[in-house]
Amino acid sequence: METEVEKINGQVLTVKSDVSKVSNEVNNVKVEMDKNLTTFKKELEELKTTFEQQNNQENRDAKWNEVVRKHVYESLEKVADDIQEVRTSLQETSIQAPEQRDKKGRRNNLIYRIPESDEPRAEDRNIADVNYRTTAYGCLTTVFM
């Protein structure tokens, strides 16, 4: 019986020794896992910080894009207004050009040597011309009669 007890005690010591070795290995694995977990947490925090910085940069870029877009649209509106003014001026000039050529062509005709009216509208100038002719013909008829 004593040999069996000694045998069992020897086996218990072997098991204790094996448990101690396994416990040491588990502790080593735990320490390694803790290191890996700490490293993982640091990398995760770095990724979070990088993501936040990129997100902030994208927001700043979006704001800058809006500012540029606003100024471009304002400039385009001004250019469109200027173009409309030029078109209006060209239309007015194209309307007045034939009348100016007509005036230059009539300058050497005796009948058209009457003074030009300063009225802005063509109808008003025609009325002023008729009134002048009527007055001039009235004066001529009294002289020759």
Same domain (yes/no): 63, 118: no
Same domain (yes/no): 74, 125: no
Same domain (yes/no): 135, 71: no
Same domain (yes/no): 75, 48: yes
Same domain (yes/no): 19, 84: yes
**What's the number of domains the chain is made of?**
2
**Degrees (nearest 5) of the Cα angle 93, 98, 100?**
85
Same domain (yes/no): 66, 120: no
Q: In this predicted structure, what is the pLDDT of residue 104? A: 75
How far, in Å, CA of 86 to CA of 94, rounded? 12
How far, in Å, CA of 69 to CA of 133, rounded? 63
Q: How far, CA to CA in Å, does 105 sit from each of 21, 76, 133?
A: 123, 43, 19
Residue with tokens 């894009």: 65
How far, in Å, CA of 121 to CA of 32, rounded? 99
Same domain (yes/no): 10, 50: yes
Same domain (yes/no): 7, 76: yes
Same domain (yes/no): 91, 131: no
| Domain ranges, residue 129 | 114-145
Same domain (yes/no): 8, 38: yes
**Cβ partners under 8 Å of residue 127, min gap 6:** 119
Digits of tens for pLDDT over the chain (145 positions)?
678 888 888 888 898 888 889 989 999 999 999 999 999 999 999 999 988 888 888 777 777 788 888 888 898 999 999 999 999 988 888 888 888 887 777 666 655 566 777 888 888 888 988 888 788 777 666 655 5
